Amino acid sequence: MKLTIIGTGYVGLVTGTCFAEMGNTVTCVDIDKQKIENLKNGIIPIYEPGLEAMVQRNVANKTLLFSTQLKDCLDKCDMAFIAVGTPMGEDGSADLQYVLKVAETIGQHMSHPLIVVDKSTVPVGTADKVKTVIANELAKRGAEIPFHVVSNPEFLKEGDAINDFLKPDRVVVGTDNKETAEKMRQLYAPFFRSTMDRMLVMDVRSAEMTKYVANAMLATKISFMNEVANICEKVGADVNKVRVGIGSDSRIGYSFIYPGSGYGGSCFPKDVKALKKTAEQNGYTAQLLHAVEDVNDRQKLVVAEKVIAKYGKDLKGKTFAVWGLAFKPGTDDMREAPAIYIIKKLTDLGANIQAYDPKAVHEAQEFYLKEVTAIHYASSKYDALNNADALLLLTEWKEFRSPDFLELKERLRQPVIFDGRNQYNDQRLESLGFEYHQIGKKI
């Protein structure tokens, strides 16, 4: 099939590249000229394992093209995917201006029957808005061209997006048109060759809702476990054992019940807020979602609070090594990362930070910690430790899992670790002479 993907952000780029990989001819469109020039040369704007090589391969095969001219692309394609950003508006609702602008352009320029697919995470009712905007533009120029708007939310995880796209747990398609559903089935059939057909066709609003509910459910699991972890600390229980104890019940399951420093990233914080807002706009107060957010906001600072509990509120003259800045491993993304909040809190109290992250240092320096001056970025995880009073582990990158603890002891001023991701065995660390603070178990 010939596809146009509008928006070369995270979702658009992964979607376009994976469709190209399956033999479709894909043009990815963006208004950012520099970005498109770079992409034509195989330079991608984000870090995502496996993506760059796949882009380069498909560019070389001419199955993946890049353009700034949406109009030309619309003339040649069977489907147009809207994958532009839906940033959080000031009131917490998703800002639809980019989605609706694209809809307008489609309506102004489409020249033949088209399936328009909403890939962006959009609130319930957006497909109807997109439909209205396109229909209005067609009417303005007196054109009568049939089109269908489909909701096809993405469930990609950063750091594992290629895998998620190529081997999906499910593909959700919202449409009330049988032929459109059939076309979508043809498009996704190659992804189910080795598994059963996992395409779920439903009405448009349910599909739009599914995306938010999936993310809100996962965020709820995490906040629930973080709350449990905090209670465990108070009562002298070990959340690591409790986690295994409850996860073994197949109705609960082991995934997404790891306590830590709270969820971050672009999706959970934004989608929980947007769902809460949608509820509110429809006259319903979503109390549980409210609590999920509150618990998460508080959890982001738990590591900082543990540091303050040990050293006091005046941290002048103290230096802390930080391992991990990204909101999770496998990405350079720092949106809503706990590290931002923890580092700002500690430096506000006078501390110095020596930080190391395998991928996110650039993001920290340029954006998220730009105004923080009491921070030095080390070029290796061990260099970050030199003469620090303690190590704070904030992102569970694989390279932090099994460090040389003797080296840690040698470089740190004191053998103290605050682990915001529960990566180590406390008994082992204590036998090595470390003071080991973790989430959900009293020291």
121 is known to lie in a ligand binding site:
yes
Q: Does 267 bind ligand UDX (CB under 6 A)?
A: yes
Q: Which tokens belong to 292?
A: 């999920």
From 58-66, 197-205, 250-258, 349-357, span contacting ligand UDX (CB under 6 A): 250-258
441 is known to lie in a ligand binding site:
no
Q: How far apart are CA 234 and CA 354, in angstroms?
A: 31
**246: nearest Cα among 236, 235, 260, 232:** 232
Identified binder of ligand UDX from the candidate list 9, 260, 269, 440, rule CB under 6 A: 260
Residue 369: is it exposed, middle or buried by C-beta count within 10 angstroms (0-12/13-18/19+)? buried
Q: Map residue 356 onto helix, strand or coil.
A: strand
164 is known to lie in a ligand binding site:
no
Q: Which tokens belong to 73?
A: 């692309």
Cα three-residue angle 57-327-29, rounded to 5 degrees:
35
From 258-266, 273-281, 316-324, 386-394, span contacting ligand UDX (CB under 6 A): 258-266
Neighbours of 217 (CB within 10 A): 11
Q: How far apart are CA 436 and CA 377, in angstroms?
A: 24
267 catalytic residue (yes or no):
yes
Q: Which is nearer to ligand UDX, 212 or 320 (CB)?
A: 212
258 is known to lie in a ligand binding site:
yes
- How many residues interact with ligand UDX (rule CB under 6 A)? 19
Q: Does 222 bind ligand UDX (CB under 6 A)?
A: yes
**328: nearest Cα among 175, 161, 141, 104:** 161
> Tokens 């007196």 belong to which residue?
142
**Cβ-proximal residues to 233 (8 Å cutoff; 6+ apart), any chain:** 239, 439, 440, 441, 442
13 is known to lie in a ligand binding site:
no
Residue 425: is it exposed, middle or buried by C-beta count within 10 angstroms (0-12/13-18/19+)? exposed
Q: How far is the CB of 217 from ligand UDX (least distance, A)?
A: 10
Is residue 5 a contact partner of residue 28, using CB atoms and an 8 Å limit? yes
Helices (H), 118-238: 126-140, 161-166, 178-188, 204-235
35 is known to lie in a ligand binding site:
yes
Q: Which is nearer to ligand UDX, 256 or 405 (CB)?
A: 256
Identified binder of ligand UDX from the candidate list 104, 155, 163, 403, rule CB under 6 A: 155
Q: Does 157 bind ligand UDX (CB under 6 A)?
A: yes
From 35-43, 104-112, 255-263, 402-410, span contacting ligand UDX (CB under 6 A): 255-263
Identified binder of ligand UDX from the candidate list 98, 191, 258, 323, rule CB under 6 A: 258
Binding site for ligand UDX (CB under 6 A): 154-158, 215, 218, 222, 256-258, 260, 263-265, 267-268, 327-328
- Residues flagged as binding site: 30, 35, 86, 121, 155-158, 211, 256-260, 264, 270, 328, 335
- Residues flagged as binding site for substrate: 155-158, 211, 256-260, 264, 328
- Residues flagged as binding site for NAD(+): 30, 35, 86, 121, 158, 270, 335
Positions annotated as catalytic residues are 267
